[in-house]
Amino acid sequence: MKNSIIVKALRDNVNFVQEDYAAIARAELHKLSKRSVHDAERVEKQRKRLTKFKGTYSYDDDTRQDVKLLARRRKVYEQLAVSLNEVAESDERVAEILAGAQSDAAAEIVGALSTRLVEQARVANEPDYGFLREERMRNLIEIDLALLKAAHSPEY
């Protein structure tokens, strides 16, 4: 969610709308739930394959342990799928996820901007100040002012 918020804000110039991101979060949670169901089915097939060796020489203590672990893993995947669906259906839990993602996105953007500002800060008496000034001015005009203009221009 955090990355989606950052990309939509910076690349697409889209403001944060709680309902839009809630729908995205719910879709992702349901997708993860389906993946857990698929994983549970896959693990159950593996477990059944191992139980076919029962009564044979190759069915040893390790195989017996593997069968138990696979059964436990299947249950975990099934419970995870149920929990993910419950979270997806809870307005409160989705709001918590979005609040965390929004906070993390803001912190990451602030961190990136701070780093950029520190890198751009130059003391006038540094030896390469004059040489790099032209490049900084060009970046200011071509990048920073263009972004500022685009942010305040009406969309057609």
Per-residue pLDDT of the chain (156 residues; tens, 9 = 90+): 998 988 888 888 888 899 999 999 999 999 999 999 999 999 999 999 988 877 666 667 788 889 999 999 999 999 999 999 999 999 999 999 999 999 999 998 888 888 777 776 766 667 777 778 888 888 888 887 777 777 666 654
Q: Torsions phi, psi of 77, nearest 5? A: -60, -40
CB contact at 8 A, 70 and 46: yes
Domain residue spans in the chain?
A: 2-121, 128-156
pLDDT at residue 25, rounded to an integer: 97
- Measured CA to CA, the distance from residue 53 to residue 77 in angstroms comes to 24
Listed in sequence order, the residues at least 6 apart from 44 whose beta carbon sits closer than 8 Å to its beta carbon are 70, 74
- Measured CA to CA, the distance from residue 102 to residue 3 in angstroms comes to 10
Long-range contacts of 30-33 (CB under 8 A, 24+ apart): 30/84, 30/85, 30/88, 32/84, 33/80, 33/81, 33/82, 33/84, 33/85, 33/88
- Give pTM, 2 decimals: 0.69
Phi-psi sector, 153: left (phi>0), alpha (psi -120 to 50), beta: beta
pLDDT at residue 48, rounded to an integer: 93
- Measured CA to CA, the distance from residue 19 to residue 27 in angstroms comes to 12
